[in-house]
């Protein structure tokens, strides 16, 4: 006799909002400067980590992060619909990307960020021509204020990870990873709001289902990882990590559902491992990265046995880092 409850089945295989056909169709709407980014095996880094490591470099573009893939979709759709303005909350990278993509399409872009966000990210948002509003509090306070502005002005609110364009833009990275030869054994993806992980994971699960999709989050900002493990939303009262790009506290239910369909694992790493990862990326790959971009390497450092001899790929998702802080962290 079958005792399975239909609800259990739904929990085990939730539906997803993402669509591979739409992701493929989205590519032409993304400026080539964000597409087909370098993907290469970094032998010295692999030697240091005891496995084969390939990096997918998302920093060699005008906004130094992967976020342009999503904002290109947001801005091209919005401009196509006659929209003239958009607002987003940002830890710093989404704001730069939306300022870049919106600016090129004549959109007025407003970015709300925490006063505590890295100065270098805030400066570049302004330099790209966006209106920047700073709030006390953290990223979640910025999210609240961005919603207010959107309602007051009647303009488009761009919500990272909730808005499908942000996930499906990121998913184009997954298309490119799935074309990688030889196939990877595992792909390590920074986990924050979830756009990157759900997007890349979705494309991989459909096109290269044998690749293990592993999300990595700082132990100091574990809300989405805990939610994934408990299969329900878990929030935290605060965050404590240098990885400012992934430091949310309130996971979005729809994004968690998407993540449950594609992630094979979600792990937490310490601040010390993140710093060690940044240092290894500098020493062995010549890459200056922001803390979020070192999460994949940190995960290997914390569990070398799991990855020994395997071929892992990690997405280097951003390099917008305050250099003074960077040097202080890695001790140069």
Residue 241 lies near a copy of itself (rule: CB under 8 A): no
Residue 119 lies near a copy of itself (rule: CB under 8 A): no
Q: Cβ closer to a copy of itself: 17 or 279? A: 279
Residue 59 lies near a copy of itself (rule: CB under 8 A): yes
**Residue indicated by tokens 């739409």:** 22
DSSP readout, 122-187? HHHHHHTT-EEEEESS-HHHHHHHHHHHHHHHT-EEE-TTTSHHHHHHHHHHHHHHHT-SSPPSEE
Residue 81 lies near a copy of itself (rule: CB under 8 A): no
Measured at the CA of 191, the angle between CA 26 and CA 237, to 5 degrees, comes to 130
Least CB distance to a copy of itself at residue 98 (A): 15
Q: Rounded CA gap, 161 and 270, in Å?
A: 24
CA nearest to 27, candidates 18, 19, 35: 35
Category of 240 on φ-ψ map: left (φ > 0), alpha (ψ -120 to 50) or beta:
beta
Question: In this chain, which stretch among 18-26, 147-155, 232-240, 314-322 interacts with a copy of itself, using CB under 8 A?
Answer: 314-322
Residue 328 lies near a copy of itself (rule: CB under 8 A): no
Neighbours of 151 (CB within 10 A): 11
Q: Cβ closer to a copy of itself: 43 or 230? A: 43
DSSP state at residue 145: H
What is the SS3 assignment for 67? coil
Among 11, 13, 60, 119, binds a copy of itself (CB under 8 A): 60
Residue 137 lies near a copy of itself (rule: CB under 8 A): no
Least CB distance to a copy of itself at residue 62 (A): 5
Q: Rounded CA gap, 69 and 86, in Å?
A: 17
Question: In this chain, which stretch among 107-115, 135-143, 223-231, 318-326 interacts with a copy of itself, using CB under 8 A?
Answer: 318-326
Q: 295-302 and 271-285 are packed helices; what angle lies between their axes, rounded to 10 degrees?
A: 110
Count of residues that interact with a copy of itself, criterion CB under 8 A = 31
Residues 165-184 that bind a copy of itself (CB under 8 A): none
In DSSP terms, 315 is beta-bridged to: 56
8 A C-beta contact, residue 190 and residue 197: yes
Least CB distance to a copy of itself at residue 213 (A): 23
Residues 180-239 that bind a copy of itself (CB under 8 A): none
Residue 124 lies near a copy of itself (rule: CB under 8 A): yes
What is the SS3 assignment for 14? coil
Residues 266-305 that bind a copy of itself (CB under 8 A): 282-283, 286-288
**Which residues of the chain form contacts with a copy of itself (CB under 8 A)?**
33, 36-44, 47, 57, 59-62, 64, 124, 127-128, 282-283, 286-288, 319-321, 323, 327, 332
């Amino acid at each position: 006799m079958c005792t399975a409850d239909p609800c259990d089945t739904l929990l085990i295989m939730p539906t997803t909002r993402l669509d591979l056909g739409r992701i493929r169709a989205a590519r032409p709407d993304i400026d080539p400067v964000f597409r087909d980014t370098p993907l290469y095996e970094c032998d010295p880094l692999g030697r240091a980590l005891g496995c084969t490591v390939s990096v997918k470099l998302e920093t060699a573009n005008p906004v130094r992060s992967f976020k342009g893939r999503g904002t290109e979709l947001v801005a091209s759709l919005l401009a196509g619909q006659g929209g003239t303005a958009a607002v987003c909350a940002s830890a710093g990278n989404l704001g730069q990307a939306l300022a870049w993509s919106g600016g090129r399409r004549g959109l007025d872009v407003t970015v709300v960020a925490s006063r505590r966000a890295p100065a270098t990210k805030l400066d570049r948002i302004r330099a790209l021509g966006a209106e920047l509003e700073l709030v006390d509090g953290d990223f979640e306070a910025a999210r609240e204020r961005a919603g207010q502005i959107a309602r007051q002005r009647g303009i488009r609110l761009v919500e990272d990870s909730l808005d499908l364009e942000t996930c499906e833009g990121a998913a184009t990275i997954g298309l490119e990873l799935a074309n990688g030869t030889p196939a990877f054994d595992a792909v390590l993806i920074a986990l924050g709001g979830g756009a990157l992980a759900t997007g890349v994971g979705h494309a991989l699960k459909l096109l290269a289902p044998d690749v293990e999709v592993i999300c990595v989050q700082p132990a100091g900002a574990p809300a989405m990882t805990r939610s994934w493990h408990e299969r329900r939303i878990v929030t935290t009262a605060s965050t404590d990590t240098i990885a400012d790009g992934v430091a949310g506290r309130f996971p979005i239910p729809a994004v968690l559902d998407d993540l449950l369909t594609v992630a094979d694992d979600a792990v937490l790493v310490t601040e010390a491992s993140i710093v060690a990862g940044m240092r290894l990326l500098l020493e062995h790959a010549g890459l200056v990265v922001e803390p979020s971009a070192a999460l994949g390497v940190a995960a290997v450092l914390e569990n070398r046995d799991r990855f020994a001899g395997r071929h892992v790929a990690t997405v280097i998702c951003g390099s917008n880092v305050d250099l003074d802080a960077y040097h202080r962290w890695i001790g140069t």
